[in-house]
Amino acid sequence: MSRAERRRERRTNPAKVRRAAADPRRTGLACKAAPGEHVPVVDRGRCEGKGDCVEVCPYNVFELRTIDVADYRALPWLARIKVRVHGMQTAYTPRADACLACGLCVAACPERAIRLAPVE
**In the chain, where are the structural domains located?**
3-118
Return the CATH fold of 3-118.
Alpha-Beta Plaits (3.30.70)
CA distance 45 to 114: 11
Give the model confidence (pLDDT) of 76-108 as tens digits.
999 999 999 999 999 999 999 999 988 999 999
What's the pTM? 0.81
Which of 97, 92, 1, 8 has the alpha carbon at shortest distance from 53? Answer: 92
Any alpha helices (H) in 23-89, and if so which ranges?
52-56, 69-74, 77-85
